[in-house]
Chains A and B, each alone.
Chain A
C-alpha cells in the first residue's frame, strides 16, 4: 500500500521579507550541522553548514544559528526570492561530515510574490 507522508511544517513569506526556519536536533554528541534545500524532484542541495564550536555563521543571504544548550538550529534567509521556495532540511552528523547524516523532518517554505 501507499505510505502516508509526514505533514511538513509550512512557512509562507512575502517576497522580499526575511524568513526563519527552525530545527530541533536529536543528538547532543553531534558536532556538525548542515542546512539543505530540496526542490521538487531534486536532490538535497547544500546551503550552509556550521560546526559545534561556533554559534553563528553567515553566507550569502543566509545565516545559521546554533544553540547547543537547547539543541536548536535555525536558518535565516534574508530578502527572500521566489527561487527560495522549497523544502528545507536540517541535518546533523558527528565526525565532522564523515559518516551518516541524520535529517530532520523538513519545512516547506513558500514565497508569495
Chain B
C-alpha cells in the first residue's frame, strides 16, 4: 500500500540555522500539507499546497517558513532561521480530491 514518506526522521539543529524537511507524498495525490505537533499537544495545520502554489496557511506559517515542490515527487518545508519554539514533530500529508489525508511518519525537529 502506498505511503507518505519523510526524511530525516530526526533533525537536530542550532537556533538560527536553516532546515529543510523532506516529504514524498503518495504518487497520485494532488494536495499536500504540512502539520506540526509540539510534544504532548494536538496536531496543528501549517500549510496546504495545490497546483504548485500555497492554497492556505496558518498564522504559524510566517515568513520564516516556505514550501516547495522541486520535482514531481518531493515536497519540502524550509525553516529559514529556526527558533527554540520550532522544536516539534512535523508531519507531511497528502490526498487526492475530496479524500482522506494520509500522514507520513513525521520528522522530529530539535532546535538547540
Contacts and interface: CB of A to CB of B under 8 A. Distances in A.
B44 A103 contact: yes
Contacts of A6: 40-42
A101 B100 CA distance: 10
22 contacts: A6-B40, A8-B40, A42-B106, A43-B4, A43-B103, A43-B105, A44-B43, A44-B91, A46-B100, A46-B102, A89-B42, A97-B97, A97-B99, A98-B31, A98-B95, A98-B98, A99-B48, A99-B55, A101-B45, A101-B93, A103-B43, A106-B42
Given A42-B105, A43-B91, A97 B98 contact: yes
B56 A103 contact: no
Given A5-B40, A43-B104, A104-B42, A96 B98 contact: yes
Nearest to B95: A97
A45 interface: yes
Chain A's interface: helix, strand, loop or mixed, by majority?
loop
B33 interface: yes
Interface of A: 1, 3-6, 8, 34, 36, 41-46, 49, 89, 91, 95-106
Residue among A8, A41, A100 having the largest count of chain B Cβ atoms under 10 Å: A100
B105 A3 contact: no
A49 B100 contact: yes
B48 to A, nearest CB: 6
Contacts of B39: 3, 5
